[in-house]
Structure 1
Amino acid sequence: MSVFPKISLRPEVENYLKESFVNKEVVSASRKQEAERKFETLLTNLSHPPSFTTVRVNTHLASVERVKSLLHVELQKQFNGLSVPILQHPDLPDVLLIPVIGPRRNIKKQQCEAIVGAQCGNAVIRGAHVYVPGIVSAPKFMKAGDAVSVYSDIKGKCKKGAKEFDEIKIFLGNGISEVSRKEIFNGLPDLRGIGIRMTEPVYLSPSFDSVLPGYVFLQNLPSAVVAHVLNPQPGEKILDLCAAPGGKTTHIAALMRDQGEVIALDKIPSKVEKIKQNASLLGLNSVRAFCFDGTKALKLDIIDDTEGAPPFLPESFDRILLDAPCSGMGQRPNMACTWTLKEVMSYQPLQRKLFHVAVELLRPAGVLVYSTCTVTLAENEEQVAWALTAFPCLQLQAQEPRIGGEGMVGAGLSPEQLKQLQRFDPSAVLLQDMDTESLRDSRREDMILLANKDCIGFFIAKFLKCKSTGEKASQK
């Protein structure tokens, strides 16, 4: 059952999303009432966490069984002896699933209230402690060691440094303050450690702050599917066109057994450093990260020698992952999105520019995987329909493993084409309470099925380049 309000969107953005989920083809395939019910379920589920925390094991450094054993010990410590199962995904052998306990409805609220920003609040719901930069408001006399109730300011109305806040705030649970109010707001500007250690969160998820570094990577389930769909092979040259923070990049390298070359691009220097740090932490030497704009990664001047750095000559890569910048409307939990409709719609042209570069850089018989973490029709199925028309050299391919549902109708794709896509739809299941008793009574198969369905919104399409690009494809 819902414990948080549905995601708060600007009216024009909500209407735009609704047009996708209640489009003519959807309504003709089912009743309008059913389509509208699913859309409302989507809005509610987006503000809540998925039912499982997903951890990808770095099989380059450790076996899944060893990491699973180490995680059992860690969870026992974090959950004060509470027994929570750790499941190995049957179709993703390097993925472990940990049930999220909650919502816990009988937590006694404290008089001392701290307010955190919406993004910090989202992280707390998924198991993080509250770090000092995320704290917006704290009581006048709050000191280290105080019991504190933590609330999320989902509307962004609380002023930094406020002593109290009486507008809309969402209860996230209780914790113990590690610092005083004075240290938070009058202390050193680089104070970035844990400000409040969560002890009674509404949703009990494991914290992965400095837990098994090098062995595990916290990753949403659909994100872990992508590299398997790309199916990289040892010795290949692979491009991750929009790579930060490097979760999929490092997954690709691990699946290749660190044999070959994985080129990772991002145009923000700090994000490129994060990719390099993650590759180093995971012990992967095949990753080469560059600070470069993916839309300019195609080399047009053959005379210019960049010595393996971007831009690249046409048809240089065996496989390409285009995990495109997107509106992110599938991320969970997300209680509020302040984006304008113009901002939400701005991604489709950028995605097409990147798509054009990716097709040009892919060798004949090469594989291109396109993915997003959004639920809009325009950034997903419409992009597939456009690509198949704009690039006759591309053929849509079936995906393995197949965990998500088929694509959404409304973009003019055939039923056969829709079955070749994977759409992870947060409205696929109703929210469920999960406690230790229900876990004991649950069959493993049922828990895996729930994990597959109750995850973030995501989309994957796989293409084969069946011939050389030839003439320039249309970018219209």
Structure 2
Amino acid sequence: MPIFPKISLRPEVENYLKENFMNEEVLAVSSKQDAQRKFEALLNHLSHPPSFTSVRVNTHLASVQHVKSLLVDELKKQLNGLIVPVLQHPDLQDVLLIPVIGPRKNIKRQQYEAIVGAQCGNAVLRGAHVYVPGIMSASKFMKAGDVISVYSDIKGKCKKGAKEFDGTKVFIGNGISELSRKEIFSGLPEMKGIGIRMTEPIYLSPSFDNVLPSYLFLQNLPSAVVTHVLNPQPGEKILDLCAAPGGKTTHIATLMHDQGEVIALDKISNKIEKIKQNASLFGLNSIKAYCFDGTKALKLDMIENIEGAPPFLPESFDRILLDAPCSGMGQRPNMACTWTLKEITSYQPLQRKLFSVAVQLLKPGGVLVYSTCTITLAENEEQVAWALKMFPCLQLQPQEPQIGGEGMVGAGLSLEQLKQLQRFDPSVVPLPDTDIDSLRDARIEDMIWLANKDCIGFFIAKFQKCKSTLEKDPPK
């Protein structure tokens, strides 16, 4: 049974998603009742966190075994001696998995309460403490040291500084206030640290705030799969077209043993600074990050660019990763999405612009990997069908490792093509209920299987460019 309500969506958005998951092709191979059940399960899963926290080891600086032993010691401290297994993923050797314990259903609610914003609430369910900027409301007489119950304002209706809130709120656990109500809402710029230290969260996940920062990168499991599918090789020139915050960029450079050139683009300058910080922290020198709009990354005149900065000449890159801007509907936990249908459906044209640029920047024989963290057909399988039609030079490729399920029917792709895609759909397993006793009895193989299935919603497609695109005008 889900402990939280299903994700709250605008009716127009829920209907749009329902049409995706109950399209004609789906109903031709499944009963309407089964398709409806699967869709409802998906909406329930989206409001709950994945059953495992996954972290990627920086193998450029340390071995997985060394970092795993450091992490085991760190978790013992964090969890007051509670021992939870740390598993190395068998198909992703640089990924470690830590089970999330919960939901814990017997937590006593306290007299004092704090309301946090939806994003803050989501972070708490994945192991974070509550930072001052995330606190929307606190009880009138709350002081430092009080044990308080924390609720998430999932619909964003609570006014900052309110003393009480009667709107839709979801209990996410108890914590100890580090500050008084007066200090929290003082407006002082230095008040940015931890406001509430979570002691009894509904879901017990480890915190990775400044934990082994040179050795670990907190990364959802499918996001780590993407770079392995790209399979970067030492000495290659690789483009990460929409790179922020740089998790995949640093992963590419690490898998290349920091030999070659990794170009990272993003059009927001402070995100580029974050990529540079992560590269420095991980000791990686092959990354060059530029604040640049990926849709303009193709150089239209053929004059050589000596500095190596964007825009780039056609067919400059051995491999390209397009982890595209998307509606993000696969992210978990997400108890409410207030976006309109217009916002949800606005990404497809941008993704196609970026994809067209990527195809022209890719060398013949090169590999292009397209990925999103969303669940819509329009941003996933429909984009693959469009790409294969628009670019005869592209061939869909099988993926290694293949951890997610095959693509979803509904975009007119063949069964063979669908098998070459990876769609991570958490609704394929029941929502887990994990406690310490069940972990002691669990087999490693079963835990890995669950980690592979009960993750965020995600999509990956891999293409190879079979011939040059220089002979003719690029498609409009």
CA distance in 2, matches of 1:443, 1:278: 35
> Is the CA contact 1:26–1:35 (under 8 Å) kept in the aligned structure 2?
yes
- Give the TM-score of the pair, scaled to structure 2: 0.99
Q: Is the 8 A contact 1:154 1:169 kept in 2?
A: yes
- Compute the displacement of 1:190 (Å): 3.7
C-alpha displacement at 1:252, in angstroms? Answer: 0.3
**Counterpart residue type for residue 344 of structure 2:** V
1:273-319 Cα distance to aligned partner (Å, 9 max, x none): 11111111111111110000000000012237361000000000000
Describe how 1:63-462 pairs up with structure 2 within 5 A. 63-303=63-303, 305=305, 307-462=307-462
Using the TM superposition, give the Cα deviation of residue 474 of structure 1 relative to its aligned residue in structure 2, in angstroms. Answer: 2.8
Query: Are the aligned partners of 2:6 and 2:43 in contact in 1 as well (CA < 8 Å)?
Result: yes
Q: Secondary structure at the match of 2:224?
A: helix
TM value normalised by structure 1: 0.99
- Indicate conservation of the 8 Å contact 1:390/1:473, yes or no: no
Q: Does the 8 Å CA contact 1:391/1:473 hold for their aligned counterparts?
A: no
Aligned length: 475
Letter in 2 for 1:416: E
Give 1:3-42 correspondences, 5 Å limit: 3-42=3-42
SS in 2 for 1:73: helix
Q: Check conservation: 1:426, 1:455, Cα contact below 8 A.
A: yes
Displacement of 1:473 in angstroms is 4.0
The answer to whether structure 1 residue 474 and structure 2 residue 475 are counterparts is yes
Secondary structure of the residue aligned to 2:276 is helix
How far off its partner does 1:191 sit?
Answer: 1.5
CA-CA distance at 1:427 after TM superposition: 1.0
RMSD, matched Cα = 0.8
Q: Distance in 2 between matches of 1:186 and 1:398?
A: 56
Counterpart-to-counterpart distance in 2, 1:15 and 1:114: 34
1:2 aligns with 2:9: no
Instruction: Tell me which moved more, 57-66 or 295-304.
Output: 295-304
What is the Cα deviation at residue 255 of structure 1? 0.3
SS at match of 1:102: coil
The SS at the match of 2:185 is helix
CA contact (8 A) 2:304 2:313 kept: no
Displacement after TM superposition at 1:430 (Å): 1.1
- Per-residue deviation at 1:334? 0.2
Task: Could you tell me which runs of 5 or more consecutive residues in structure 2 were left unpaired when the two chains were aligned.
Answer: none
Is contact 2:238–2:319 with CA below 8 Å preserved after alignment?
yes
SS of 2:450's equivalent in the other structure is helix
State the alpha-carbon separation in 1 of the partners of residues 315 and 22 from structure 2.
40
One-letter amino acid of the counterpart of residue 114, structure 1: A
* Equivalent residue letter for 1:471: K
SS in structure 2 opposite 1:386? helix
**What's the CA shift for 1:189?**
2.5
1:57 match: 57
Q: Which letter does structure 2 place at the counterpart of 1:277?
A: Q
Instruction: Give the drift of 1:472.
Output: 2.9
Distance (whole Å) between structure 2 residues aligned to residue 471 and residue 416 of structure 1: 30
Secondary structure of residue in 2 paired with 1:437: helix
Q: In the TM superposition, what is the alpha-carbon distance from 1:186 to its structure 2 partner?
A: 1.3
CA distance in 1 between counterparts of 2:473 and 2:27 reads 38
2: distance between equivalents of 1:61 and 1:4?
A: 40
Distance 2:474 2:415 in 1: 26
Residue 248 of structure 1 aligns to a residue in which SS? helix
Q: Work out whether residues 305 and 312 of structure 2, in 8 Å CA contact, stay in contact via their aligned partners in 1.
A: no
SS of the residue aligned with 2:437?
helix
3-state DSSP of counterpart to 1:165: coil
- How much identity, in percent, do the aligned residues show? 82
Give 1:148 shift: 1.0
Consecutive unaligned residues of structure 1, counting only runs of 5 or more, are none
Residue type matched to 2:211 in 1? V
Q: Secondary structure at the match of 2:15?
A: helix
Which stretch of structure 1 is more off in the superposition, 187-196 or 236-245?
187-196
* Residue 184 of structure 1, CA deviation: 1.1
| CA-CA distance at 1:225 after TM superposition | 0.2
What is the CA–CA distance in structure 1 between the aligned matches of 2:433 and 2:254, rounded to whole Å?
35
Contact 1:18–1:39 at 8 Å: present in 2 too? Answer: yes
Partner Cα separation in structure 1 for residue 23 and residue 363 of structure 2:
37
The one-character-per-residue Cα deviations of 1:401-455 (angstroms, maximum 9, x if unpaired) are: 0100000000000000000000000211110100011111111111110000000
SS at match of 1:186: coil
Give the residue type in structure 1 aligned to 2:390: A
Report the Cα distance in structure 2 between the residues aligned to 1:89 and 1:189, rounded to whole angstroms: 42
Amino acid at match of 1:198: M
Distance in 1 separating the partners of 2:472 and 2:151: 56
Deviations 1:141-178 (CA, angstroms, capped at 9, x unpaired): 11111111100000111000001111211001000111
Aligned-partner residue type, residue 474 of structure 1:
P
The answer (yes or no) to whether the contact 2:126–2:203 under 8 Å persists in 1 is yes
